[in-house]
């Protein structure tokens, strides 16, 4: 716990005067107003409570009550405490920002100066720097004569800024070490950590947030980076605190976006858990939408699942980015599925998340990435700007995308026989540079596991010949070596020496664990047969209704959709108007025409749709629309994909496989643009066969 100079002085005075101390005496000694003394006494109560002590008022004034052992602990702790005035300029300004954003009343310059252990002129200078940053994000710092200063920020910006500042100042390894295997806070570690930024968050809210996230099994949190997972936990705890205090997100604060249903379900679950265990607050739709946006922004690998939020536009642009970079760099990465999946997940997360308006955790590695891969960085940035016209990617996001390409360039398939664990807090993307260089330069390596700090406890360290980490792991008991993800020449030579020593002492018949080994969950034969039967039934339904049909249409999207849906009534659709409106709304949200073709994918899910459906319609009368690159095109082929709402996971997977294949490569684009019913039916049947085999 961190103390201001004033709080340290107050506690020292109280300990040195066991008979009691009056408010008047404290006003004189602290040289502050009566109101400030009462505020400091309130703060002192919280500090004393952490040591099992109480602040008691009797006839002689205020005294600290408690046993001698706890008093001695407090006395020793105060002598060791780091004062707020000892922080760097950046840290001091971050503390000041948090104080401003959380303050309900005006704050006086002199009071802030005393609290932060600096002069009033330093606070004035800090405020000027902060105000310049605040102006860009419509956060106003108001100066009220004789009263002080107060900040006005919308609730979303406030939460993102404060949670971002806390995360910046908190090491991931130390953060996850706060919790035991049952997901409870380890009290001794929590109180010994002394982090002024973490103390902004209520301990109970933090523990419940951590536990709720870790115990939710329907989301792939294992694949989320330590940094993102830490950010989400802190933001969730802060959100619970703010709602409890009456500060909620208003409708006009929140941009409504298309959400993946499973992410919204997770957001609702987390907020419900906090309602039950932390504070009985009302969960509004705006709060659910806000938290869903943060979950959408996690870099979790995406599966081709068809849903209301299915984004063929993003899939196409990700494929096009790979094609463009491949052409310009003269390296063909079009068939690299790992690259495609990694990019799709990362770009989707970048587009989905609400960014903290000001602060991004600094990462010196990214500067090295830029200088090591300067040409690639320029090429990637150029094509991102071309393909995503309305998106301003953060520099960090661009460089993480560069990492995925750089890793793909260096990927190799050599077969070797050593097993290595790589620990990287920023996730798989950053560690891939390290993995690629190791496998390329050290042929003895067979298996590489990549772990985040939060998932270290899941590994059996005896299974690895060598553990490498891109960060220092304070308190980690296993032998490990710290390296940079770029692996300098001297580091590589050192690793080769270590590996040579490991080989000479290598135990025989050691179990090798490959990074790519999938854990197969045992299913009894009945469940396995039932799943196979359900998949087969869905596939047969889609194949039975699939067709390539030419229609006479009017030159209007609305009329064309009305005509198609009217012919599907009874067999596929119960209420055509609802489906037509959703399809038309999808077109109005973003262009759906596929560049360099004459086709577009229209899709939606709706409660009036009876079954999964995919079919193709050729138009006699071309219709002018925009393609995904915002160029004009003539639409002559409509790909229509429909699903019931709610839609089960198997139907999502099957329809998603079809739609994902459309833009997978140039051959498929040409096939769907020009192919006959017979050819396309055979192609789709092959897709379904691969689903059944897997």
DSSP codes of every residue in 356-390: -SS-----HHHHHHHHHTHHHHHHHHHHHHHH-TT
Return the higher-pLDDT residue of 127 and 514.
127
Q: Give the pLDDT confidence score for residue 235 in this predicted structure.
A: 93
Stretch 500-504: mean pLDDT: 66
Q: How confident is the model at residue 516 (pLDDT cuts 50, 70, 90)?
A: very low
Percent of the chain with pLDDT over 90: 20
Q: Give the pLDDT confidence score for residue 260 in this predicted structure.
A: 64
Average pLDDT of every residue of the chain: 81
Q: What are phi and psi of 355, to 5 degrees?
A: -80, 145
b/e per residue, 574-610, with b = 16+ CB within 10 A?
A: eebebbbebbbebbeeebbbbbebbbbbbbbbbebbe
Interatomic CA distance for residues 579 and 642, integer angstroms = 9
Q: How confident is the model at residue 565 (pLDDT cuts 50, 70, 90)?
A: very high
Radius of gyration of the chain (CA): 30
Q: Give the pLDDT confidence score for residue 210 in this predicted structure.
A: 95
Q: Give the pLDDT confidence score for residue 224 in this predicted structure.
A: 76
Q: Give the pLDDT confidence score for residue 416 in this predicted structure.
A: 44
Extract the tokens encoding 650.
Answer: 């198997």
**Prior bond of 364 cis (ω within 30°):** no
Helix (H, G, I), strand (E, B) or coil at 499: helix
Q: Give the pLDDT confidence score for residue 366 in this predicted structure.
A: 65
Percent of the chain with pLDDT over 70: 85
Least confident of 348-357, 514-523, 641-650: 514-523
Interatomic CA distance for residues 501 and 489, integer angstroms = 19
Q: Interior CA angle at 466 toward 462 and 468, to 5°?
A: 120
Q: How confident is the model at residue 579 (pLDDT cuts 50, 70, 90)?
A: very high
Beta strands in 122-257 (DSSP E): 140-144, 148-152
Least confident of 255-269, 288-302, 353-367, 371-385: 353-367
Residue 173 CA neighbour count, 13 Å, CB half: 12
Residue 316, C-beta contacts closer than 8 angstroms, at least 6 positions apart: 594, 595, 628, 663
Least confident of 308-317, 325-334, 366-375: 308-317
DSSP state of 118: S
Q: Give the pLDDT confidence score for residue 132 in this predicted structure.
A: 74
Decide if pLDDT at 246 tops 80: yes
Q: Give the pLDDT confidence score for residue 204 in this predicted structure.
A: 94
Decide if pLDDT at 402 tops 50: yes
Beta bridge partner(s), residue 149: 107, 143
Q: Give the pLDDT confidence score for residue 598 in this predicted structure.
A: 94
For the chain, the maximum distance between any two Cα atoms, rounded to a whole number of angstroms, is 97
> Per residue in 23-45, pLDDT tens?
888 888 887 888 888 888 888 88
Q: Give the pLDDT confidence score for residue 256 in this predicted structure.
A: 45
Least confident of 83-97, 105-119, 455-469: 83-97
Interatomic CA distance for residues 364 and 368, integer angstroms = 7
Extract the tokens encoding 509.
Answer: 């018949």
Interatomic CA distance for residues 347 and 313, integer angstroms = 12
Q: Give the pLDDT confidence score for residue 514 in this predicted structure.
A: 36
Which residue in the block uniquely carries the two structure tokens 């495609």? Answer: 340
Cα dihedral sign, 400-401-402-404: positive
Stretch 166-195: mean pLDDT: 84
Q: How many other C-beta atoms lie within 10 A of the C-beta of residue 666?
A: 12
Stretch 116-136: mean pLDDT: 82
Q: Interior CA angle at 396 toward 393 and 401, to 5°?
A: 75
Extract the tokens encoding 484.
Answer: 């940079």
Decide if pLDDT at 412 tops 90: no
Residue 200 CA neighbour count, 13 Å, CB half: 29
Least confident of 60-64, 95-99, 144-148: 144-148
Give the C-alpha distances (Å, rounded to integers) separating 29 from 24, 40, 521: 9, 13, 68
Decide if pLDDT at 255 tops 60: no
Give the C-alpha distances (Å, rounded to integers) separating 548 from 382, 576, 676, 689, 694: 38, 20, 7, 21, 28
Decide if pLDDT at 367 tops 60: yes
- Report all structural domains of the chain as residue ranges with CATH numbers, in order of start: 5-81 (1.10.10.10), 86-153 (1.10.10.10), 158-296 (no CATH), 312-397 (no CATH), 418-504 (3.40.50.2300), 526-693 (3.40.930.10)
Q: Give the pLDDT confidence score for residue 414 in this predicted structure.
A: 36
Stretch 158-177: mean pLDDT: 85
> Per residue in 440-494, pLDDT tens?
788 778 788 888 888 888 888 988 889 998 888 888 888 888 888 777 777 888 8
Crossing angle (nearest 10°) for helices 285-296 and 226-244: 170
């Amino acid at each position: 716990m961190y103390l201001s100079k004033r709080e340290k002085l107050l506690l020292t005075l109280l300990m040195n005067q066991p008979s009691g101390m009056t408010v008047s005496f404290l006003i004189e000694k602290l040289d502050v107003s009566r109101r400030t003394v009462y505020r400091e006494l309130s703060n002192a109560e919280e500090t004393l409570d952490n040591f099992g002590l109480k602040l008691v008022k009797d006839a002689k004034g205020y005294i600290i009550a408690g046993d001698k052992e706890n008093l001695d602990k407090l006395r020793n702790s105060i002598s060791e405490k780091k004062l707020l005035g000892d922080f760097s300029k950046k840290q001091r300004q971050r503390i000041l920002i948090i104080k401003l954003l959380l303050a309900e009343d005006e704050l006086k310059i002199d009071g802030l100066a005393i609290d932060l252990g600096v002069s009033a002129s330093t606070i004035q200078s800090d405020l000027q720097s902060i105000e310049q940053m605040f102006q860009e994000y419509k956060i106003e710092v108001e100066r009220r004569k004789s009263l002080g200063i107060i900040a006005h920020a919308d609730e979303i910006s406030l939460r993102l800024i404060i949670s971002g500042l806390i995360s910046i100042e908190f090491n991931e390894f130390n953060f996850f070490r706060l919790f035991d295997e049952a997901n409870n806070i380890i009290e001794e570690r929590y109180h010994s950590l002394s982090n002024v930024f973490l103390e902004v968050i209520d301990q109970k809210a933090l523990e419940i947030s951590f536990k709720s996230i870790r115990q939710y099994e329907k989301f792939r949190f294992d694949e989320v980076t330590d940094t993102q997972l830490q950010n989400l936990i802190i933001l969730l705890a802060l959100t619970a605190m703010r709602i409890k205090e009456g500060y909620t997100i208003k409708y006009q604060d929140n941009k409504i976006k298309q959400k993946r249903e499973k992410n919204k379900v997770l957001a609702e679950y987390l907020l419900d858990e906090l309602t039950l265990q932390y504070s009985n607050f009302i969960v509004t739709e705006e709060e659910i939408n806000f938290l869903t946006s943060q979950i959408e922004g996690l870099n979790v690998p995406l599966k081709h699942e068809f849903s209301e939020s299915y984004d063929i536009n993003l899939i196409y642009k990700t494929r096009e980015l790979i094609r463009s970079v491949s052409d310009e760099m003269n390296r063909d990465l079009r068939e690299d599925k790992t690259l495609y999946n990694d990019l799709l997940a990362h770009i989707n997360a970048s587009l989905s998340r609400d960014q903290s308006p000001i602060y991004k955790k600094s990462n010196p590695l990214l500067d090295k990435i830029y200088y090591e891969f300067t040409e690639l960085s320029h090429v990637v940035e150029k094509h991102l700007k071309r393909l995503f016209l309305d998106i301003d990617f953060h520099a960090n996001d661009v460089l993480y995308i560069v990492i995925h390409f750089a890793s793909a360039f260096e990927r190799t398939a050599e077969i070797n026989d050593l097993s290595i664990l790589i620990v990287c807090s920023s996730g798989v993307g950053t560690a891939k540079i390290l993995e690629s260089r190791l496998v390329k330069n050290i042929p003895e390596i067979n298996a590489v596991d990549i772990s985040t700090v939060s998932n270290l406890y899941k590994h059996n360290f005896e299974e690895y010949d060598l553990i490498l980490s891109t960060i220092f792991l304070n308190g980690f008991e296993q032998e490990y070596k710290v390296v940079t993800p770029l692996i300098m020449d001297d580091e590589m030579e050192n690793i080769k020496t270590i590996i040579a020593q490991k080989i000479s002492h290598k135990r025989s018949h050691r179990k090798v664990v490959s990074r790519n080994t999938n854990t197969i969950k045992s299913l009894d034969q009945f469940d396995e047969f039932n799943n196979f039967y359900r998949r087969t039934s869905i596939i047969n339904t889609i194949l039975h209704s699939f067709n390539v049909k030419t229609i006479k249409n009017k030159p209007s999207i609305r009329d064309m959709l009305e005509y198609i849906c009217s012919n599907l009534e009874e067999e596929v659709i119960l209420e055509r108007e609802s489906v037509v409106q959703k399809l038309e709304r999808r077109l109005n949200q973003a262009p759906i025409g596929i560049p360099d073709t004459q086709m577009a994918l229209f899709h939606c899910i709706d409660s009036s749709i009876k079954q999964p459906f995919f079919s193709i319609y050729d138009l006699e009368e071309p219709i002018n629309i925009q393609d995904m690159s915002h160029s004009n095109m003539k639409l002559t082929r409509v790909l229509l994909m429909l699903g019931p709402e709610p839609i089960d996971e198997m139907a999502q997977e099957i329809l998603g496989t079809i739609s994902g294949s459309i833009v997978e490569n140039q051959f498929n684009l040409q096939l769907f643009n020009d192919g006959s019913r017979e050819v396309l039916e055979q192609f789709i049947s092959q897709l379904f066969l691969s689903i059944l085999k897997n």
